[in-house]
Amino acid sequence: QVQLVESGGGLVQAGGSLRLSCAASGCNYFSSYTMGWFRQAPGKEREFVARIVWSGPGTYYADSVKGRFTISRDNGKNTMYLQMNSLKPEDTAVYYCNLVRAGGASYWGQGTQVTVSS
């Protein structure tokens, strides 16, 4: 079984920073999995934020967060991170961790709320 638990969300002022964490369990060889972050704001569809893969340069970002967010992973801890800097009110959303294993099965966490005030 694969379980994903997000943490690190909260309330920050515009221009501030947060670091989200996603702890994964039930999956061996953490570095072989594609993982990413998505977010969903009220009244909007869930959108891609960032992903990290095992091959090539490995990281990809939505245009809206490039230069502000950084995705990373600690293979020893089976944990993925999203460092969010220069936060804007439009970043307010529930942020979800996603993992895709070989074979295409996809797993999601329950999300963590990020609220950015003006």
Q: What angle (nearest 5°) sits at the alpha carbon of residue 39, between those of residues 84 and 114?
A: 55
| pLDDT on residue 63 | 98
Confidence of residue 1 (pLDDT cuts 50, 70, 90): confident
Confidence of residue 75 (pLDDT cuts 50, 70, 90): confident
| pLDDT on residue 101 | 82
- Those residues with Cβ within 8 angstroms of residue 69's Cβ, 6 or more apart along the chain or in another chain: 49, 50, 61, 82, 83, 84, 85
| pLDDT on residue 34 | 86
pLDDT mean across residues, the chain: 92
CA-to-CA dists, residue 19 to 9, 35, 51, angstroms: 8, 16, 15
For residue range 27-70, list pLDDT tens digits in order: 765 666 789 999 999 999 999 999 998 766 689 999 999 999 99
